[in-house]
Structure 1
Amino acid sequence: MKWGLIGASTIASEHVIGAIRAQGGEILSVLSSDPARGADYAARHGIGRATDDLSNLLGEAGLDAVYISTTNEKHHSQALAAIAAGKHVLCEKPLAMTLDEAAEMARAADAAGLVFATNHHLRNAGSHLAIRDLVAAGRIGRVLSARVFHAVHLPPHLQGWRINDAGAGGGVIPDITVHDADTIRFYLGEDPVEVVALAGASGMGAGVEDSVMSVWTMPSGAMVQSHESFTHPFAGSGVELHGTEGSIFGRGIMTQKPLGELDLVDAAGRHAVAFDRHDLYARSVALFVEAVAGRGRPAADGVDGVKSLAVALAVREAARTRRAVRVDYAGF
C-alpha cells in the first residue's frame, strides 16, 4: 500500500511510519504547512518528497491511503478532501472539533465505499484485548463499575498547542478522555448514556483544561469513573473493572507501548494474566490494510471515532455547565 502523511507529526515519526513500513507499505510524501520543516522531516525519515499543498499530495500517482495527524481543527477538511479524492483514511483522534463534523467524515467515507479508521491505539494493546476477552468470557460476572486513571505528565515536546490552543483542539478532554471513552466502549460493548464532570486548569498552559474527572452511566447500569490529566508526573495509570464474580486490575497499560501488568481477582485468589506484547500501531495499521483489501474491519472505524468524541464532548459540556449531560451520538 502507498501512503501519504498529512502532518509531519511526532506520533507519525515515533510510531506510525514504522508501523506502515512493517506492513510493507511505502510512504510517498508528507504534508507540512512549513515547507522547510516538511523537507527536513522527509529527509530524516526517508520519505520521497514533502509538500505544503494538500491537493498536490492527494494527486500523487498510485496513492492509496492517507494518515492524518495534524492539529484537531484540520482533520475534518483534510479527511473530506482525501475521501473526495478516493483515498482510504486513517485519522488521529479526536476525529474533529464537533460531533457533526465527525459524523460527516464517517458518512462521506461510507458513501464512497472507502475505509475510514480512527487511530485509537489502546484497543490494539494486548493488555486491553485481554481485558475485553475476560469480560466477554464472564470471568468477572456482571460488570458493576469501572475506574480509569489516566492522569499523566505531558512531556514538554508534546505540550505546545495541546495546553494552550483551544482553537486547535487543545485540552486534556479531546486528547485523553476521548481515548478512555473508546477503551470503555471496547471492553463493555455499550455506549455511555449520561455523564457528570468537573474540570480544572493548573496553570501548565492557558485557555484549556488540563485535568478532568467524570462519572458515566452505562445502559447496563454499570458506572464508570474516569480521571485524565496532563499534570501528574507520579500517579501511574491503569484501569479497574469490578463485577459480581471478580475484578480486573490493569497497571501501567494506558500507554503507547506494550507495557504494564494485569491481574484477575476472584474467589480463588489473585491471578496474573499474561498478554501479548505486540506493537500497538503495527496491529492498527495491519487491520487497516486488511480492511482495505476487503478482509475484516479496522481496529476502530469511523463510528468508533464519532462515539468516543461524543462522550468527550459530553464530558466537556458537563464540566462547563456543572450539570448531567446525556451523550448525543449523532444518530449512530
Structure 2
Amino acid sequence: MNGVTGRMGYRQHLLRSILAIRDDGGIPMPDGDRLVPVPILVGRDTAKVSAIAARHDIASWTTDLDTALSDDTAEVYFDAQITSVREKSVLAAIAAGKHIYVEKPTADTLDGALALARAAAAAGVRSGVVHDKLFLPGLLKLGRLIEGGFFGRVLSVRGDFGYWVFEGDWQPAQRPSWNYKAEEGGGIVVDMFAHWSYVLGELFGAVEAVTARAVTHIPHRWDEKGEAYEATADDAAYAIFELAGGVIAQFNSSWCTRVDREELLRIQVDGTHGSAVAGLTGCKVQHRSATPKPTWNPDVPNGEDFREQWAEVPDNQPAGNGFRAQWERFLREVRLGQDHPFDFLAGARGVQLANLGLESSARGARLTVPELVL
C-alpha cells in the first residue's frame, strides 16, 4: 500500500477498508474460507510510515518501493500517491507481476492512462480503479430506482458537489496544497470529472460530449507551512455532459461554495414518470402521481413547502463504507481469478473526460468524447 500517509490513503483505504476487513476476520469466500489482507506499507517519510505501522500493529513497512515489490507474498499493489508519480510506480508493480488497485486519476495524461491499461493487459495482471461513489448508499438507491423503472424515460441529471476550502491563511485548509497546483496534478476537473465519468456512465449512459468552464476563483492560497503560493489549478468547474440516449447532465464542482443542501453531493434525476434527489446516504423521490402543480406568481409569497412533498427511499439494503465495499469486491475477484469491471480502461475514460473538460474550457468549445479501445 503506497501513499497511505496521505489523508485519503490513510483514512479511507488503510483504516476504514483494509484494517477494518482484517479486524473483522476477513472477506467471506464461496468455499467458506476467509480472505484476510496483510498490508505492507510504503511511504517516502520514514517517521510517518513507521508511526502508522506501529499504531496499527502492521509488521511490514518500507520507504523503498522495489523492496516491497520484491515480496512474493504480496499479490496486490495499491497506489494512493499524488497523480504525478503514480504512473511510474504502477508500471514497476506491473513489471513485478502484481495485480493493481489504484486511486483515480490513474495518470496525468490519457496516453499515460492507456499505457497502464495496455501494460496490465500484456502482463496478464488484473487492475482496478477506485469508483467509490457508485458504492455510496444514496447512489445505490438511485441505481435501484433505475433498475425498477421508476423514472420512465430519464430526461436530465443535475449534480452539485463541493464546499468551501479555506485559503490557509486565517484558517487551515482542509485539502493539501498540491490540489491547487496544476504542475503537481491538482485541479478540481482532474479530481472530479473522473468521478462524473463513471457515475454517469454506469447509471445513465456514456458521456458523448462535454462543454465545460474551469476557473480559478481563489488565485492565492497558503500551504501546510503557512507560506503563500499562487494557485495554478482550477478550483471550480461548470459542465454540461451529453449522454447516450439524449440525457443531458449538468454538474457544478466547486471548492469555493458554501453548502445549502443536505449533503456535500446532491444529484437530481428527472424522468417522465418521476424524479429523485440523491446524496451520499439519502435519496428522496417524487412520482408523477404525487407531483404538485405550482403556479409561478412573483407577486404572492409561496405557501408550499416543496421539500416536504418528497418521500424517502427506505434503507432496504444496508450499505457500509463504499471504499471498503469495492476493496472487498476487488480482492475477492483477484483470488477467484475474475476481472474487475472498473479496470484501467475505465480509469482511462475518467482521465479522457478530465482532459477534454480542460480543453473545452480553454477553447470555449463543445467537444465530443471518442470511444477508447486498447
Residue identity opposite 1:198 in structure 2: R
Match of 1:49 among 54, 60, 63: 60
Cross-structure match for 1:143: 154
Between 1:264-273 and 1:239-248, the stretch displaced more is 264-273
1:209 deviates by: 0.3
SS at match of 2:259: coil
Cross-structure match for 1:198: 213
Determine if the alignment matches structure 1 residue 8 to structure 2 residue 5.
Answer: yes
String of CA shifts for 1:39-98, please: whole Å, max 9, x gaps: 233223332233222111111241111210000011211111111111111100111101
Residue identity opposite 1:20 in structure 2: I
Q: Is the CA contact (8 Å cut-off) linking 2:4 and 2:10 kept in structure 1?
A: no
Matches within 5 A, 1:250-269: 250-251=278-279, 253=280, 259=281, 261-269=282-290
Cross-structure match for 2:130: 119
Cross-structure match for 1:109: 120
Between 1:304-313 and 1:210-219, the stretch displaced more is 304-313
Distance 1:232 1:46, change over 3 A: farther
SS at match of 1:268: helix
CA distance in 2, matches of 1:84, 1:130: 40
Q: Is the CA contact (8 Å cut-off) linking 1:148 and 1:240 kept in structure 2?
A: yes
Residue identity opposite 1:74 in structure 2: V
Distance 1:179 1:84, change over 3 A: same
Cross-structure match for 1:160: 177
CA distance in 1, matches of 2:275, 2:320: 25
CA distance in 2, matches of 1:220, 1:70: 37
Determine if the alignment matches structure 1 residue 242 to structure 2 residue 270.
Answer: yes
Residue identity opposite 2:343 in structure 1: D
String of CA shifts for 1:195-216, please: whole Å, max 9, x gaps: 1111211226400000000001
Determine if the alignment matches structure 1 residue 272 to structure 2 residue 347.
Answer: no
Q: Is the CA contact (8 Å cut-off) linking 1:106 and 1:303 kept in structure 2?
A: yes
Structure 2 gap ranges (5+):
27-35, 167-172, 222-230, 291-309
1:5 deviates by: 3.2
1:119 deviates by: 0.9
SS at match of 1:227: strand
Structure 1 gap ranges (5+):
254-258
1:295 deviates by: 6.2
Cross-structure match for 1:225: 250
1:142 deviates by: 1.2
- Structure 1 residue ranges, 4+ long, deviating more than 3 angstroms after superposition: 4-7, 25-28, 295-299
1:6 deviates by: 4.4
Match of 1:20 among 18, 21, 24: 18
CA distance in 1, matches of 2:217, 2:151: 37
Match of 2:238 among 204, 213, 222: 213
Residue identity opposite 1:311 in structure 2: L
Distance 1:89 1:308, change over 3 A: same
Residue identity opposite 1:124 in structure 2: F
CA distance in 2, matches of 1:95, 1:79: 9
Determine if the alignment matches structure 1 residue 304 to structure 2 residue 346.
Answer: yes
String of CA shifts for 1:121-149, please: whole Å, max 9, x gaps: 11112221221221233210111110111
TM-score normalized with structure 2 length: 0.80
String of CA shifts for 1:196-255, please: whole Å, max 9, x gaps: 11121122640000000000111211111011011223244310111111111113x2xx
Between 1:80-89 and 1:261-270, the stretch displaced more is 261-270
Distance 1:301 1:133, change over 3 A: farther
Residue identity opposite 2:141 in structure 1: A
Aligned length: 320
TM-score normalized with structure 1 length: 0.89
Cross-structure match for 1:256: none
1:296 deviates by: 5.0
CA distance in 2, matches of 1:87, 1:286: 17
Q: Which has the larger radius of gyration?
A: 2
Distance 1:100 1:63, change over 3 A: same
RMSD: 2.0
1:157 deviates by: 4.0
1:308 deviates by: 1.9
1:272 deviates by: 1.6
